[in-house]
Amino acid sequence: MSRDGRETRYEPADACASAAGAAAVTRPAGDTLIVEDLQTWFFTKAGVVKAVNGVSFGISKGEVMGLVGESGSGKSVTGFSVLGIVDPPGEIVGGSIRFQGRELVGLDEIAMRQIRGSRIAMIFQDPMMTLNPVLRIDTQMIEAIRAHARVSRAAAYARAREVLLKVGIASPDERLKAYPHQFSGGMRQRVAIAIALLNEPDLIIADEPTTALDVTIQAQILYEAQKLCRETGTALIWITHDLTVVAGLADRICVMYAGRDVEQGDVDAVLDHPMHPYTFGLIGSVPSRNRRGRPLHQIPGMTPSLLNLPPGCAFRARCDRASDECHREPPVLEYGCDRRARCFHPHFEGPS
């Protein structure tokens, strides 16, 4: 990063700007979850797939963070890593995940199990596959409650019923007796959301939870999610492709590319003034304050294979600002208020 470049740089207009240009990269902050330099690799026969390779972000109570990125950028694997449910041949090989001050990487299975589904819940991407086809909904909901609390079946049932109503499922008693195949995709997704809410977790990781839902329900779920975060202080990581959702829902945004967080910060700041060329491309190059609220822009080129990714910036092949420098690892640049980007030649003026 050339020092003279700083004069033309976009500076957030608030007090946080003073942090800009600090020599050492500050560590991600947040009182609920801090992920630092997370590396989750898959040791496949074809080679090592570095699905998550150095991701850092933090999230605080009541905060909503949008996690966006192309297909295969490692969003879901990041979520699985936080819950400690990465399946072999995948493995967390480095970094740290601190949840409410407690290190989760390397935590023993029994302690981890007490957190899973209770303090941290996840809503999976594919609603059709999330529920066990041979178990009734009530079984699947009640067991989630009773795994963490010594309550009677009746009390657990009542709780399940209450949460189903909350996610907009009418006649919950009838629904609880049903099997997943009797539900539509949207309905199953709502059940999955309800299961995540059962134990009032402190952190919810929602992996594209509204894609299977129609617009009205989607709006309703988003509203409920936001309300939940405001009221109970639950932190929410919302994984999505849809920038409209992020713009309307999230406080912060973290953009992933090829297993890395390439840019993150306050949602308005990032969407109005994307600095990383990838984010810039996503939002589009036409200057407009209203760019946000549009779906992701298609960037020419393909996501690189994560198998044996060459060193340097992974976006290089598709980047119009790439230079020779970009064959090296790009630096993390900070611009106050937790705004950061990994790039040698970031945009400073926002889309223009």
Partner 1 sequence: MSVFITRRILQSLVVVFVMSLLVFFGVNIVGDPVDMLINPEADQEDIEAAIRALGLDRPIHEQYWYFLVNALKGDLGKSFIFAEPALKLILQRMPATLELAFAAMFLAVVIGIPLGVFAGLRPHSKVSKTIMAGSILGFSLPTFWVGLMFIMIFAVMLGWLPSTGRGETTSLLGIQVSFLTLDGLSHLLLPALNLALFKMSLVIRLARAGTREVALQDYIKFARAKGLSPSRVVLVHVMKNILIPVVTVLGLELGGVIAFAVVTETVFAWPGMGKLLIDSIQLLDRPVVVAYLMITVLMFIVINLVVDILYSILDPRVRLKDVKS
Please give the residue ranges that form the binding site for partner 1 (CB under 8 A).
Answer: 80, 83, 85, 87, 113-118, 121-122, 124, 126, 129-136, 143-144, 147-148, 179, 181-182, 192, 195
How many other CB atoms sit within 10 Å of the CB of residue 20?
17
Q: Determine if 255 is a binding residue for ligand SF4 (CB under 6 A).
A: no
Residue 148: name the closest of 120, 121, 114, 119 by CA.
114
CA atoms of 240 and 32, how far apart (whole Å): 21
Q: Determine if 73 is a binding residue for ligand ATP (CB under 6 A).
A: yes
Q: Give min distance, CB of 221 to ligand ATP, in A.
A: 19
How many helices, marked H, and strands, marked E, lie in the chain? 11, 12
Closer to partner 1 at the Cβ: 20 or 147? Answer: 147
Among 51, 122, 236, 249, binds ligand ATP (CB under 6 A): 51
How big, in percent rounded to 5, are the helix, strand and coil portions of the chain? 35, 20, 45
Among 193, 250, 299, 343, binds ligand SF4 (CB under 6 A): 343
CA atoms of 28 and 163, how far apart (whole Å): 33
Binding mask 99-138 vs ligand ATP (x if CB under 6 A, - otherwise)?
--------------------------x-------------
Q: Determine if 84 is a binding residue for ligand ATP (CB under 6 A).
A: no
Q: Determine if 345 is a binding residue for ligand SF4 (CB under 6 A).
A: yes
Which ranges constitute the DSSP H helices of the chain? 75-83, 109-115, 127-130, 137-146, 153-166, 172-176, 185-197, 215-232, 243-249, 267-272, 277-283
Q: Determine if 240 is a binding residue for Mg ion (CB under 5 A).
A: no
- Footprint of ligand ATP on residues 133-192 (CB under 6 A)? none
Q: Which residues contact 260 (CB under 8 A, 6 or more apart)?
A: 53, 54, 55, 74, 314, 342
Q: Determine if 42 is a binding residue for ligand ATP (CB under 6 A).
A: yes
80-88, 116-124, 154-162, 316-324 -> range binding ligand SF4 (CB under 6 A): 316-324
Q: How far is the CA of 211 from the CAs of 97, 128, 184, 314, 319, in angstroms?
A: 28, 12, 13, 28, 29
Among 62, 259, 330, 336, binds ligand SF4 (CB under 6 A): 330
Q: Which does 130 bind (CB under 5 to 8 A by kind): ligand ATP, Mg ion, partner 1, none?
A: partner 1
